Amino acid sequence: MVILHVSKSNRYSGMENVAINIMKSLPEDYRSVYLTATGSIETKLLDLDIEYIGVEKVDENSIKEAIEEIKPDLIHAYEYDCSLMCTKVTDSIPIISHLYSIPKWVQKIGPKSVIYGGACKNFAKIIIPDKYVEEKAWFRDKMEDRTVVLRTPFNAVKIFEKGYLPGTEMSKEKLEGYKSDLLFVGYLTEEKNPFEFIDIVAEVKKTHPDINAIIVGGGDLGSQCLSRIGKLGLANNIKMVGMQYNPYIYMNQTKILVAPSKFEGFGMAAVEAMAFGKPTLVSLTGGFSITVNDDCGKICGNEKKIIDRAAFVENINELLDNSEIYRMKSEGARRRAKELNNFDTYMEEIAKIYEDAYKNTRKN
């Protein structure tokens, strides 16, 4: 079976990680080709030897050309825009619409929600990370009987190995550079909210003057983050290390992962940190409400205020000052990572979705 995976993003993030995991894990009799915008994602694709087509912009024309080139049996489209574009260029190839987020426009009537709702009948299946996505969608009645809940593929053992094994080969001095009290991992964008992380560190510094924090990630807000760090007098407390090929070493060497995001699809970094037994403190958004609980960390927010800075600071201070609470949360994080470990069953379900979609098309 030939599958065309379509994503318009040019960077490596949560959704792209899902797509890559799927392509790398399918049996050999599947041929997967990734259509993507050219950019930083290509480094990852080349490193993992994934077949892909890079274009300046993923649009209807580029999708049409990719279909003509590889003649796919099935299309796996990621997020709303790509899903819609695929329905406009073919009515004969089954399309899987894989949704990772629930943006505000989806939750109310409007041009885009009406168009996506109307297109639902053209999808062989709609994959969602949680039933919440369907329940909140304005067009939920159009999605009925087409959705399947698949959270996000997570391999706790593999993640742990990526963070632990490289550290065993480093000198003690080099490993020191990866250690931190607080860690932020994510693109430096408004959604990930690195400014809030910096402000949280500034508050924690009042009780812990030597607090040591690291920001892993690159993005549009990098220079502004540096400026904010300098303005708040945190140059000796926060280190920015940019994009990292292996952020898991930093996760293994931190004490607490902090994710004050304004929006998240699933929030994979928080789950990955749990594989190392790290308590995770997160905002009330996206998948965090599913993955994080009081046993493994804390959701520092509520319905009225999804990011509660005071709650972040209070929980950080408690974890840093109370070794018994830290130990319990750390053990809880490991247990939660084990509970969320779903890689094999996830891939089995994906293969079944593909086979069913393909068979149903051939019948028709």
Domain spans in the chain, listed from the N-terminal domain onward: 2-153+343-359, 156-340
> Which range has the top average pLDDT, 129-133, 209-213, 240-244?
209-213
Residue 362: pLDDT over 80: no
Q: Are strands 123-128 and 31-37 parallel, antiparallel or unpaired?
A: unpaired
Q: Which CATH class is domain 2-153+343-359?
A: alpha beta
In angstroms, the CA 271 to CA 277 distance is 10
pLDDT in tens, 252-275: 999 999 999 998 877 889 999 999
342 pLDDT band (50/70/90 cuts)? very high
In angstroms, the CA 160 to CA 64 distance is 40
pTM of the model: 0.85
Q: Tell me whether the CATH fold assigned to 2-153+343-359 matches the one assigned to 156-340.
A: yes
Angle, CA of 56, 21 and 253, to the nearest 5°: 105
In angstroms, the CA 213 to CA 55 distance is 38
Q: Where are the alpha helices (H) located in 137-171, listed in sequence order? A: 140-143, 156-168
**CATH for 156-340 (1.10.10.10, 2.30.30.180, 3.40.50.2300, 3.40.50.2000):** 3.40.50.2000
Of 122, 129, 118, 130, nearest in space to 146 by CA: 122
In angstroms, the CA 160 to CA 156 distance is 6
Rg (CA), the chain: 21
In angstroms, the CA 278 to CA 329 distance is 8
Token representation of residue 263? 């929006």
pLDDT in tens, 36-46: 999 889 988 99
Share above pLDDT 90 across residues of the chain, in percent, rounded to a whole number: 82
pLDDT score, position 195:
98
